Amino acid sequence: MKPVLLIDFGSTYTKVTAVDVDAPRLLGTANSYTTVQTDVNDGLADALKQLERKTGKLDFVARYACSSAAGGLRMLASGLVPELTAEAAKTASLGAGAKVLKTYAFQLNEDDAEEIKAIDPDIFLLCGGTDGGNTACIVHNAEVLHEIGGDYPIILAGNRNAARTCSRILEGREVHVTENVMPAFGTLNIEPTQQVIREVFLNRIVEAKGLSKASELISGIMMPTPSAVMAAIKLLAEGTETQKGIGDLVAVDVGGATTDVYSVAEGLPDDPRTALRGLPEPYIKRTVEGDIGMRYSIKGITEAAGLKKIAEIAGLSEERMQEIVEFFAAHTDRLPYDEETQRADEALASMAVRVAMTRHAGRLSEIFGLGGLQLIQTGKNLLNVDRFIVTGGSLIHTAHTGRIASYGFFDEEDPGSLKPRKCRVLVDRSYIIAAMGLLSQHDPEAALTILKEELIEDDRTE
């Protein structure tokens, strides 16, 4: 046996997973409060004690970890045109595991400056202009950031002709210069920026209380939890040189504060006559809905989906549904405590999935022009994706996972949405996706084998 320990320092819980990479198989999982307010090692020690009670004492040959224990990487980004460089900046940030709080376009004004100063992000991504194009906007924004001050790092990923000028303006700040996220019109180049974001992560998030000390126990470099999840999703879809993946897929992680959606698919139109509009979509895409979550962002679900619809799904009156929402908003650590609150929780999770998937998927619209009817696609076409992975406490700790997940499928009431038509639902019952993403960096064969074994199919969509 070759046991490996995988650790996820979450904002609320520290989750530990033990696997045998020889077999390969899952040995056990456990979790405990992260205790980031004091020392994350306290939460880790408690989780390890729980794990040992399940697995017995193990002599781990390696320990790997991911983290979002300081609340994740809080990022702001600015670009030139909202639909182009600003959107490219957001795509690069999300793909690297960051939480983008806001994206600015055009020149930053006084109100923007005050907002940035108040937010005090972990990183600011400064973009704007294609190579050889507009330099005035990014130079102006560098000057604004210089005036604001602050000790957060700034990543310069805009017009290469302005890079040195911006660096001089920001002298004295921590500045990372990398390649333009959009070197030419409509061309994305996000991987260099993502790599820099991950490097900054290592220097920033590991400074959270106790994580520097905890990192001494780890056999390698920490990575952001969303990056670990993305690595697992990619591995599951594509496979390895010797083991097939399962093909195109969508994954939804419904959390207490946010709902993350991942898709692995080209997402091109079904009909060759359909015209694509907007930036090209990344093959592996992540979106984060910061206003959609089961506790901290519970009111965002009701605002986006409507209290009436949620109450209808739960079989409750609107008044009772509102009472339950208010209770969970005030008691973010509470789980459903009876049959009524369980129905309410499942209805909220259903709408979290629907809203997040609708925002993630592309749209098809019809336009009548001189040449007659035209079809326009914006975003990703996920109609033909047939695997739907779900994780997050509200989806894995219920007997109705498949039914909740089905709210993320194509809906005749919204025919323009390009959500999947029909999918096989695979459930992360043991909460191991992030752990397998970690393991995939060192032993992808073992990680893929365990993923295929542990993701349980749930076909109860009715």
> For 317-355, what is each residue's pLDDT tens digit?
999 999 999 999 998 878 899 999 999 999 999 999 999
**Radius of gyration of the chain from its Cα atoms, rounded to whole angstroms:** 22
Domain ranges of the chain: 3-70+208-221, 73-203, 235-457
More confident position, 370 or 249? 249
Res 392: pLDDT:
87
Given a cut of 60, whether residue 440 has pLDDT beyond it is: yes
73-203: same fold as 3-70+208-221? no
pLDDT given for residue 72 in this prediction: 56
pLDDT in tens, 235-248: 999 999 999 999 99
Cα–Cα nearest to 201, from 177, 176, 224: 224
- 150-176 b/e (C-beta count within 10 Å ≥ 16 → b): eebbbbbbbbbbbbeebbebbeebebb
Residue of 122, 25, 116 lying closest to 67 (CA atoms)? 122
28-32, 91-95, 391-395: segment of lowest average pLDDT: 91-95
Determine the pLDDT at residue 372.
72
- pLDDT value, residue 223: 78
Cα separations in angstroms, 104 against 92, 112, 152, 186:
15, 8, 17, 19
Res 124 pLDDT > 80:
yes
**pLDDT more than 90, % of the chain:** 57
Q: Give the mean pLDDT of 282-295.
A: 85
Long-range contacts of 298-301 (CB under 8 A, 24+ apart): 298/325, 298/328, 298/329, 298/348, 299/325, 299/329, 301/348, 301/351, 301/352, 301/355
Q: How remote is the C-alpha of 218 from its chain's centroid?
A: 24
pLDDT of residue 351: 96
By percentage, how much of the chain surpasses pLDDT 70?
Answer: 89
Give the number of other Cβ atoms within 10 Å of residue 360's Cβ: 25
Query: In a 10 Å sphere around its CB, with 0-12 CB exposed, 13-18 middle and 19+ buried, how is residue 331 labelled?
Result: exposed
Give the pLDDT band (50/70/90) at residue 287: confident
Tell me the average pLDDT of the chain: 87
pLDDT of residue 289: 82
> Residue 193's pLDDT is what?
87
pLDDT-derived band at 37 (thresholds 50, 70, 90) equals low
Residue 71 has pLDDT above 60, yes or no: no
pLDDT for the residue numbered 366: 84
pLDDT band (50, 70, 90) for residue 220: low
Tokens of 414: 């919204």
123-132, 173-182, 343-352, 373-382 — most confident range: 343-352
pLDDT band at 216 (very low <50, low <70, confident <90, very high): low
Which pLDDT score, from 0 to 100, does residue 416 have? 93
- Distance of alpha carbon 247 from alpha carbon 192, whole angstroms: 26
Choose the CATH number for 3-70+208-221 among 3.30.420.40, 3.30.30.60, 3.40.640.10, 3.40.50.300: 3.30.420.40
Domain 73-203 has CATH 3.40.50.1360: no
Is the per-residue pLDDT at 168 higher than 70?
Answer: yes
Q: What residues contact residue 418 under an 8 Å CB cut-off, 6+ apart? A: 267, 361, 362, 363, 364, 377, 379, 380, 381, 382, 383, 410
